[in-house]
Amino acid sequence: MENVPCTMKAWIYGQHGKPEDVLKLKSDVVVPELKEDQVLVKVMASGLNPVDNKRMIGIFVHAECPLPTVPGYDVAGVVVKVGSQVKNLKVGDEVYGNIHEKALDHPKQYGTLAEYTAVEERLLAPKPKNLSFAEAASLPVAIGTAYEGLQRCEFTAGQSILVLGGAGAVGSMVIQLAKHVFGASRVVATASTGKLELLRNLGADLAVDYTKENFEDLPEKFDVVYDCVGQCERAVKAMKEGGKVVTVSGAVTVPAFKFIVTSNGADLEKLNPYLESGQVKAIIDPKGIYPFSQTLEGLAYVDTGRVAGKVVIHPIQQDN
C-alpha cells in the first residue's frame, strides 16, 4: 500500500466564471476523507465533459455542491485505500467510472481533476484489461449515457436508429452499442464532412453529412432517434410512427424525452466484455490528450463543440 499524502495537486475553483478566470492548479488541496462505502483512487487519467465547463460558469448553480470545487467526472486509476464497508475492491485494483452518481444533483465537491479522488465502490468497475488508463477515462460518462438512453428507449435487436451527432463522445458510443450490443438492424448517423469516415468505422450503415443534407428529409424513418446535439424539434420528424426520440441536450419537443445519466458501475462491468473483445472501442480525439498542466487548454477544446470522441487529461501529475 502506498503512503497517501495529506495534500495533493488539484484543479479547483472557488467562484463561478469562465474556466480561464476561475480554475486554478493548487498543490495544497486536502486529499478527500473516505466514507465507509468509498475507495480512494489514485487518478491516472480523467475525461473532460461539456458539463465541466457548464458547471464552472454557474449554469447549474441551484443544484451545485459547495465551493471551492474540484471539477471532473470520469476517472481511471488505482485503488490506494478502501473504506470499512467496501466488499469487492482492494488496494492495487485498476478501476474506472463516473464518480458522480447523479450528474447534476449536488455532485461531489471533489471531482477527478486531482491526484486523488474518493468514490463509492458501486460507481466503479474493473478497468478493461486491454485499455490504457487514458482510454478507460474517456468512457464512463459517454458510454453510460449511451447505454442508459438506449435502455430507456427499450431499443431491441432488429430496430433501426438515427444518431444525431455521431462523432461526439456520446454519439460515437451510441453507434457502437446499438450495432454491437443491442443488435440494431440499421444505424444511420450524422456528422460534418471530415468525420463521416469515423462514423462508418464505428459501424454506421449510412453516414449523413449534416452540412449538405437534412436528416429529416431522408426517405427512411427510424424506430429510435438519439439526439446528442439538441435538435429535438427536427428529430421527431425523423422517427417512425410509434417510434421514440431521446435527447441529452437542449429543449424537448413532445413526444421526445430527455434524461441525465445516473452513474452505475454495474453497467460498465456489463459492457467490459465488448470493450475487451474490441467490438466497442474508446474514441479519443486525435488532438484529445492533454497533460494535467494543460487542463485549461483541454476544457477550451471541449468548449469548441468540434471534438471527435473524447478529450482526456493524462498523465495526472504524481510528483508530490
The number of C-alpha atoms within 13 Å of 42 and in the hemisphere containing its C-beta is 19
pLDDT tens for residues 103-124? 888 899 999 999 999 999 999 9
How many alpha carbons fall within 13 Å on the CB side of residue 180?
21
d(CA 40, CA 141): 19
Range of the domain at 111: 7-127+283-313
Residues 229 and 298 in one domain: no
Number of separate domains in the chain: 2
Strand partners, 190: 208
Any domain includes 81: yes
Looking at the structure, do residues 49 and 87 belong to the same domain, yes or no? Answer: yes
21 and 109 both lie in a single domain: yes
201 assigned to some structural domain = yes
CATH of the domain at 79: 3.90.180.10
Distances (CA, A) of 90 to 39, 42, 266: 8, 13, 17
Domain-located, residue 269:
no
In a domain, 299, yes or no: yes
Calculate mean pLDDT across residues 271-276.
Answer: 98
pTM of the shown model: 0.97
Query: Cβ(129)–Cβ(276) under 8 Å?
Result: yes
Range in 37-51, 55-69, 80-94, 299-313 the model is least confident about: 55-69
**pLDDT level of residue 1 (50, 70, 90 thresholds):** low
Instruction: In whole angstroms, give the CA distance from residue 271 to residue 280.
Output: 9
Query: Does residue 272 belong to any structural domain of this protein?
Result: no
The answer to whether residue 320 scores a pLDDT higher than 60 is: no
Q: Which residue has the higher pLDDT, 75 or 64?
A: 75
Q: At what angle do helices 140-152 and 169-180 cross, to 10 degrees?
A: 50
Q: Are 11 and 103 members of one domain?
A: yes
Indicate the Cα dihedral angle 137, 103, 230, 283, nearest 10°: 10
Residue 108, pLDDT score = 95
Mean residue pLDDT across the chain: 96
In the numeric block, which cell numbers belong to residue 148?
442508459
How many helices, marked H, and strands, marked E, lie in the chain?
9, 15
pLDDT recorded at residue 281: 98
Q: Would residue 268 count as lying in a domain?
A: no
pLDDT at 317: 72
Q: Examine the domain organization and report whether 11 and 123 are in the same domain.
A: yes
pLDDT tens string 248-257: 999 999 999 9
State pLDDT tens for residues 200-214.
999 999 999 999 999
- Kindly state whether residues 57 and 120 are assigned to the same domain: yes
- State the cell numbers at 68: 471551492
Considering the domain architecture, whether residues 252 and 292 belong to the same structural domain is answered as: no
Same domain? For 122 and 14 the reply is yes
Question: What is the DSSP pairing of strand 257-258 with strand 206-209?
Answer: unpaired
User: Same structural domain for residues 107 and 177?
Assistant: no
88 and 34 in a single domain? The answer is yes
Q: How far apart are CA 163 and CA 115, in angstroms?
A: 36
**Residues 119, 158: one domain?**
no
Give the CATH number, domain containing residue 195: 3.40.50.720
